[in-house]
């Protein structure tokens, strides 16, 4: 126990002495947390449209006006022909091309139906998906508007067919604020990158500079050495997380609805599993470059797959099974509900158990793989 005390003192001194590193470790993530959520706004509005109106009737003009004034669409250009509008889409000047064919109004009255043509650039799936849905809704709305008008001025009196209407409400984020969704997840990725990588580097650095051999020849037990190496980063992770929560509150007004005990409890379990990964990486690498390559490999995949940017639920089953082995995906599943919905300990228990299991596996593996003799 006394050995551990001395080791901890050594590690903390080494860490605190390196001012440049401390600055990067604490300041860089906070600056990113302040700026990045501003960039991570995936709300779909301002869809640029190019319109070809071959009808030039009152109805066609009213339809266009309704689309543009909806707030989702931004009129880029009126083009003389549909191919020209498509060209705009091709050149990324417009996201969507709309053509109202000739005799639109006349056919609508005479034949009771008429098509309008829409082409959407679907490379960005979400935008295309939502854009199409918005446009569909607006056209349906417009349709019932003109129908009402004609019925009132025309035959009159008939009530029309029975209608089911939908009253929808958005819970937990009524204004559909994207920051609420992104800030907790970005905080997780930043803590992950800092803690897991630094702990790996820290051990490998001793390997590279040869000082690890000095420790290996001492009677220090390997688990004591490992705890000594991990503890400072556990503390660092907790400090970073706390500062991150403060930034979320000061800059984005996000106050966790759930209990802080639950948050910090899960954070410690999470850090335990990620430090295990860092240690494992360290045992497999001989140089800092290797440690960097390996941790970079994992962090990059964690960032993209853990549900920070795209929903894990819409992945195929095999991919969801892989993602379940990534500790960050579970911590994100804890952070978002606890911060946004106020979920309690019982709600997130399965995720905590996952983290605990992953942490035990990673740490056991790392300790078994760690040799005091080179």
Span 299-328, contacts to another protein by CB under 8 A: 299-301, 303-305, 309-311, 313-316, 319, 322-323
Q: Give the count of beta carbons closer than 10 Å to the beta carbon of residue 143.
A: 12
Indicate which single residue of 150, 222, 249, 325 sits in contact with another protein (rule: CB under 8 A): 150
Rounded to whole angstroms, the Cα distance separating 57 from 41 reads: 38
In DSSP terms, which residues pair with 53 in a beta bridge?
100
Indicate which single residue of 63, 263, 271, 366 sits in contact with another protein (rule: CB under 8 A): 63
Indicate which single residue of 70, 177, 216, 259 sits in contact with another protein (rule: CB under 8 A): 177
Rounded to whole angstroms, the Cα distance separating 52 from 68 reads: 14
Rounded to whole angstroms, the Cα distance separating 233 from 21 reads: 13
Q: Establish if 78 lies at the interface with another protein (CB under 8 A).
A: no
Q: Residue 296 has which token pair?
A: 């970079």
Beta strands 73-78 and 96-100 are unpaired
Question: Scanning residues 106 to 145, which ones bind another protein (CB under 8 A)?
Answer: 108-109, 112-130, 132-137, 139-140, 142-143
Q: Establish if 259 lies at the interface with another protein (CB under 8 A).
A: no
Q: Establish if 260 lies at the interface with another protein (CB under 8 A).
A: no
Q: Whose CA is closest to 179, among 260, 259, 254?
A: 254
Which CB atom, from 1 or from 176, has the smaller least distance to another protein? 176
Torsion (CA) 21, 223, 209, 371 in degrees, nearest 10: -140
Rounded to whole angstroms, the Cα distance separating 61 from 58 reads: 5
User: CB of 180: closest distance to another protein in angstroms?
Assistant: 7
Build a one-symbol-per-residue string for 7-46: x at contacts with another protein by CB under 8 A, - elsewhere. -------------xx--xx--xx--x--xx-xxxxxxxxx
Question: Scanning residues 342 to 371, which ones bind another protein (CB under 8 A)?
Answer: 342-344, 347
Which CB atom, from 4 or from 315, has the smaller least distance to another protein? 315
254 neighbors 183 (Cβ within 8 angstroms): yes
User: CB of 113: closest distance to another protein in angstroms?
Assistant: 4
Q: How many residues bind another protein (CB under 8 A)?
A: 123
Distance of CA 16 to the CA centre of its chain: 32
Q: Establish if 89 lies at the interface with another protein (CB under 8 A).
A: yes
CA distances from 301 to 136, 174, 305 (A): 36, 32, 6
User: CB of 132: closest distance to another protein in angstroms?
Assistant: 5
Indicate which single residue of 79, 187, 188, 201 sits in contact with another protein (rule: CB under 8 A): 201
Q: Establish if 52 lies at the interface with another protein (CB under 8 A).
A: no
């Amino acid at each position: 126990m006394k050995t551990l005390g001395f080791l901890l003192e050594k590690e903390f001194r080494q860490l605190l002495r390196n001012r440049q590193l401390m600055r990067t470790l604490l300041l860089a993530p906070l600056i990113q947390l302040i700026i990045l959520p501003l960039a991570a706004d995936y709300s779909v509005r301002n869809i640029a449209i190019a319109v070809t109106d071959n009808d030039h009737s009152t109805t066609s003009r009213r339809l266009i006006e309704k689309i543009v004034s909806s707030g989702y669409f931004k009129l880029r250009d009126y083009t003389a022909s549909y191919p020209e509008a498509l060209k705009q889409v091709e050149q990324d000047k417009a996201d969507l091309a709309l053509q109202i064919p000739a005799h639109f109004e006349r056919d609508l009255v005479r034949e009771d139906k008429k098509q309008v043509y829409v082409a959407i650039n679907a490379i960005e799936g979400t935008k295309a998906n939502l854009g199409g849905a918005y446009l569909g809704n607006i056209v349906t709305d417009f349709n019932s508007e003109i129908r009402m008008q004609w019925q009132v001025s025309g035959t009159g009196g008939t009530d029309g067919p029975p209608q089911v209407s939908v009253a929808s409400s958005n819970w937990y984020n009524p204004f559909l604020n994207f920051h609420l969704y992104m800030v907790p997840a970005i905080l997780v990725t930043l803590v992950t990158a800092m803690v897991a990588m630094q702990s790996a580097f820290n051990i490998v650095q001793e390997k590279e500079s040869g000082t690890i051999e000095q420790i290996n020849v001492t009677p220090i037990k390997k688990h004591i050495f490992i705890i000594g190496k991990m503890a400072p980063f556990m503390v660092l992770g907790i400090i970073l997380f706390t500062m991150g929560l403060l930034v979320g509150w000061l800059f984005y007004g996000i106050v966790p609805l759930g209990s802080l005990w639950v948050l910090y409890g899960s954070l410690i379990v999470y850090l335990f599993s990620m430090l295990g990964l860092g240690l494992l990486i360290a045992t497999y690498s001989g140089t800092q470059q290797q440690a960097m390559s390996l941790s970079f490999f994992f962090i990059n995949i964690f960032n993209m797959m853990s549900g920070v940017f795209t929903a894990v639920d819409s992945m195929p089953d095999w991919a969801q099974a892989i993602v379940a082995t990534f500790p960050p995906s579970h911590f994100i599943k804890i952070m978002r509900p606890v911060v946004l919905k106020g979920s309690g300990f019982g709600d997130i228990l399965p995720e905590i158990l996952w983290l605990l299991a992953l942490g035990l596996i990673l740490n056991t593996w790392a300790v078994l793989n760690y040799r005091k003799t080179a």
